[in-house]
Amino acid sequence: LFISHDLSIVRYLSDRVMVMYLGHVVELGTTEQVFSPPYHPYTQALLSAVPIADTSIKKQSIVLEGDIPSAMDPPSGCPFQTRCQWKEHVADNLCETEIPKNQILDNDHHIKCHLSDAILERMEPVIKLVAE
């Protein structure tokens, strides 16, 4: 077991990765599954914070907005909903009212998110090589 916020180190030391937010497992899978592409918005934000000096690598810049929730008094619904950039794509304020169920995407890759399959299918890697 290796616990870190530095996903650049996690990527090279781990075969499986578990991403947690406010005590909830929000994404779980092999290193390859979690990094290419990350499906949970918090995993995306963590990866976009990894410093990269290599100019052949392109990285999305994700800046989280909204209130940082208290672990002592977490928000209703999804624990990440106060900071999620995708929340507007979920109907009926589901993010604010219900904790997401665990979804199995493929081959034991899990996420805890209300995003639809159609949105998840459009996700792209946060970090990728630039074509030369």
HSE-up (13 A, CA, CB side) for residue 17: 28
Q: Where exactly are the structural domains of the chain?
A: 7-123
pLDDT in tens, 98-124: 999 999 998 899 999 999 999 998 888
7-123: CATH topology: Rossmann fold (3.40.50)
Residue 132 pLDDT > 70: no
pLDDT of the residue at 87: 94
- Residues 44-50, mean pLDDT to the nearest whole number: 90
With a threshold of 0.85, does the pTM exceed it?
A: yes
CB 9 within 8 A of CB 49: no
- What integer is the mean pLDDT of 83-90? 94
For residue 56, give the amino acid letter. S
User: Which pLDDT value is given to residue 57?
Assistant: 82
